[in-house]
Amino acid sequence: AAGVIQSPRHLIKEKRETATLKCYPIPRHDTVYWYQQGPGQDPQFLISFYEKMQSDKGSIPDRFSAQQFSDYHSELNMSSLELGDSALYFCASSFVEGPSGANVLTFGAGSRLTVL
């Protein structure tokens, strides 16, 4: 079965540089989420999109922005990178199962960003 695809898997950047992460959700999934997981931390919600519109926003720095495109893929743009941005960034997608269903998120393998 198709899964959530994230690219790149690994990325190394210098401080103050810019990085872009890409996410390709499972086909027909209508919602995309971005999470940040620091070393030894639980995943922290950054932002989500439903049908290409921002649906919720969490602890996303102003230096970060994201969007979902017409083909439903999403990109997370991070500028003026700081050492503390080094983390594993997960994308997840979901589709409502029905009136009594639950929003089961399927996660990608993550993109590991290292800022030097």
Structural tokens at position 73: 């893929």
Cα gap 113→88, rounded to integer Å: 6
Q: Is 8 in the site for other proteins (CB under 8 A)?
A: no
Backbone angles phi, psi at 83, to 5 degrees: -55, -35
Cα gap 66→79, rounded to integer Å: 11
Q: Is 96 in the site for other proteins (CB under 8 A)?
A: yes
Contacts of 99 (CB under 8 A, 6+ apart): none
Choose between 17 and 56: whose C-beta lies nearer to other proteins. 56
The residue range among 18-26, 68-76, 77-85, 97-105 that interacts with other proteins, by the rule CB under 8 A, is: 97-105
**Minimum distance of other proteins from residue 83's CB (angstroms):** 21
- Which residues are near other proteins by CB under 8 A? 4, 30-31, 33, 41-45, 48, 50-51, 55-56, 58, 90, 92, 94, 96, 100-110
